[in-house]
Amino acid sequence: MRTNAVVVRGDEPARVEEITLREPGPGEVLVRVVAASLCHSDLSVINGTLAHEKPVVLGHETSGLVARTGPDVEGFAEGDPVLLLWNPPCGDCWYCEQGEPYLCENTARHWAGSHGVDGDGAKVHPCLGVGGFAEYTVVPAYACRRLPADIPLDLAALLGCAVTTGVGAVLSTANVHSGQSVVVVGLGGVGLAAVQGARIAGANPIIAVDRVEEKLALAASMGATDTLLAGPEVRKQVKALTGGRGADHVFDCVGLAATLKEGWKTARRGGTLTVVGIGGKTEVVEFSSIELYHFARSILTCVNGSFDPERELPAYIEHVRAGRLDLPALVSKEIGLDGVPAALGELAEGKVARVLVKPGA
């Protein structure tokens, strides 16, 4: 079937064009996209930080309705509301069996392959196996999770990456405890979700840091007890807020070498730096052996918030129901497919948190 989609090819800017999707094969479903949101990972695919086959249909943080099922699909029917997973666990590999499904060794296989062709007959690839910036997409059934009817389907798209990564970094990766001090650096959708995760965990203080003042006010509305404009004084300011020690936990949602090293220094002796943002291969951080020993800090890396969809997704849905997790607050604005190219530029400039793309708008 034909569908409009946001496509990136080579070094060309993203643009909306018509592609032809193949019919869902064995174990696959055709999904009508209700909403997908912009994520920095989309920028990473565009600029090559994340290697990906092109041309590629952008978008991986996606919710929708099952439109049709292929052969041998069980458990899904037409009209079912679903969340699409860009990192679905296979359930059979060594990592899945060890309780680390977010490190599933078959993820790369999920990302490979194409789901349609463009107007010239060239294969088109769905971003991270999803391709959510489109009216329709074809995905494996194992990459879908049914959503309850009482959760707004458009906002549920945020559970596909921003919430799982940000909240998960705090609750699952770093296991923040009540009363511990938290610093969140970088207040995009993931960083703001991390602020909410820190509030849910009972952290205090919760210190939010960004270079855009408007985002500081947004973080305060989501639970940050203190907000700091990024700059050379942040480390000193954090120490003043934490009894002169530094933070128990620092979450770097940027991924640059400079912010990672500064985050390391901002953590207290014996504290933890959790790396959440994705940086490029050239972003190299150096430590001396003596400082590693002396400060006894830990560095954790966060892949998709250490997300186990069978365990965490029901918990996050309960947080939404109870009002502990505020999805609408994460959305900067809503656009249609034609607004994606401009919104990608705003995202790169740090002007927005999450932009919700509604292909039917």
pLDDT at residue 11 above 90?
A: no
As a whole number of angstroms, the distance between CA 340 and CA 352 comes to: 13
CATH class of 166-303: alpha beta
Render pLDDT for 57-81 as a digit per residue (tens, 0 to 9): 999 999 999 999 999 999 999 999 9
pLDDT score, position 260: 97
pLDDT at residue 361 above 80?
A: no
Phi, psi of 329 (to 5 degrees): -65, -20
Spell out where 141-188 has E strands.
144-146, 182-185
3-state secondary structure of 250: strand
Q: HSE-up of 326 (CA within 13 Å, CB side)?
A: 16
As a whole number of angstroms, the distance between CA 256 and CA 275 comes to: 10
Average pLDDT over residues 165-185: 98
Query: Residue 131: which of 337, 354, 346 has the closest Cα?
Result: 337
Render pLDDT for 301-356 as a digit per residue (tens, 0 to 9): 999 999 999 999 999 999 999 999 999 999 999 999 999 999 999 888 887 888 99
Q: How confident is the model at residue 49 (pLDDT cuts 50, 70, 90)?
A: confident
Q: Give the contacts of 251 (CB within 8 A, at least 6 positions apart).
A: 169, 170, 174, 182, 183, 184, 185, 191, 194, 263, 274, 276
CATH 3.90.180.10, domain 2-160+326-357, yes or no: yes
pLDDT score, position 156: 97
Q: How confident is the model at residue 13 (pLDDT cuts 50, 70, 90)?
A: confident
Query: Residue 253: which of 92, 82, 41 has the closest Cα?
Result: 41
56, 140, 152, 311, 317 from 82: Cα distances, Å: 22, 12, 11, 17, 13
3-state secondary structure of 56: strand
Q: In whole numbers, what is the pLDDT of the chain averaged over residues?
A: 95
Render pLDDT for 18-45 as a digit per residue (tens, 0 to 9): 999 999 999 999 999 999 999 988 888 8
Tokens of 222: 């989501």
As a whole number of angstroms, the distance between CA 88 and CA 210 comes to: 31
pLDDT score, position 76: 97
Q: Give the contacts of 21 (CB within 8 A, at least 6 positions apart).
A: 1, 2, 3, 30, 115, 116, 136, 137, 138
pLDDT score, position 250: 98
The rounded Cα 328 to chain-centroid distance in angstroms is 16
pLDDT score, position 274: 98
Render pLDDT for 76-132 as a digit per residue (tens, 0 to 9): 999 999 999 999 999 999 999 999 999 999 988 888 889 999 988 999 999 999 999
pLDDT at residue 46 above 90?
A: no
The domain segmentation of the chain, as residue ranges, is: 2-160+326-357, 166-303
**Complete DSSP assignment for 81-135:** EEEEPSS---SSSHHHHTT-GGG-TTHHHHH-S-SEE-TTS-EEEEGGGT--SBS
pLDDT score, position 188: 93
pLDDT score, position 280: 86
Render pLDDT for 214-272 as a digit per residue (tens, 0 to 9): 999 999 999 999 999 999 999 999 999 999 999 999 999 999 999 999 999 999 999 99
pLDDT at residue 47 above 90?
A: no
Tokens of 354: 């999450």
Q: How confident is the model at residue 137 (pLDDT cuts 50, 70, 90)?
A: very high
Q: How confident is the model at residue 289 (pLDDT cuts 50, 70, 90)?
A: very high
How are beta strands 267-275 and 331-335 bridged, if at all? unpaired
Render pLDDT for 258-276 as a digit per residue (tens, 0 to 9): 999 999 999 999 999 999 9
Average pLDDT over residues 191-209: 98
As a whole number of angstroms, the distance between CA 278 and CA 247 comes to: 22
